[in-house]
Structure 1
Amino acid sequence: MLDHGTLTLRMAQRVRKKTDQARDMLGSDLPVFADVWVDGQGRIAQARTMLNMSGLRVTVTTNLSDFGKPVRVKVPKAEDTLPLTAATGVLNG
């Protein structure tokens, strides 16, 4: 199991402070569970993390594919975006 210090090492100071406040309120670290699926070539094909807190269950699943192919990104219009500081909630950070 990874410890709190390892997991928060690269967090922004503001986010780290919120995480520490949540730990203090709960009296311990939040247990986050993870499952990882590996394909036949040893690459991560899917990762799922799960968190249960105060009756709230959050599951995040990431699927990875098309290894080795170029990534094409369409940049959204400015009016379709918002600064990260405006986003709040359990997945903020």
Structure 2
Amino acid sequence: MSRKQTAPGDTGGGPDAGQARAMSTGQIAVLVLALLALVFIFENTQTTDIRLLVPVVSMPLWAALLAMWLIGVLCGAYFVRRRRERVRP
């Protein structure tokens, strides 16, 4: 039976385990922009007509903006993940 040997007090989480990690300037900027986008989305509450190729759909503008924001977030996350996988050996 083999067990992983750890030093006393070692949590096994790596060199930064248990320590709070400071946010970078870029991460703070992205967080601020995301919050501003959400404020913009939820301030636009009027109903609007949206053409989806052929059909015309009436819906609150905030719902359409939120849907497009979520699609953008998912596309961005997909491409970041693909780039990370491609860079790894």
Q: Under a length normalisation based on structure 1, what TM-score does the superposition of the two structures give?
A: 0.24
Higher relative contact order (CA 8 A, sep 6+): 1
TM-score, normalised with respect to structure 2: 0.25
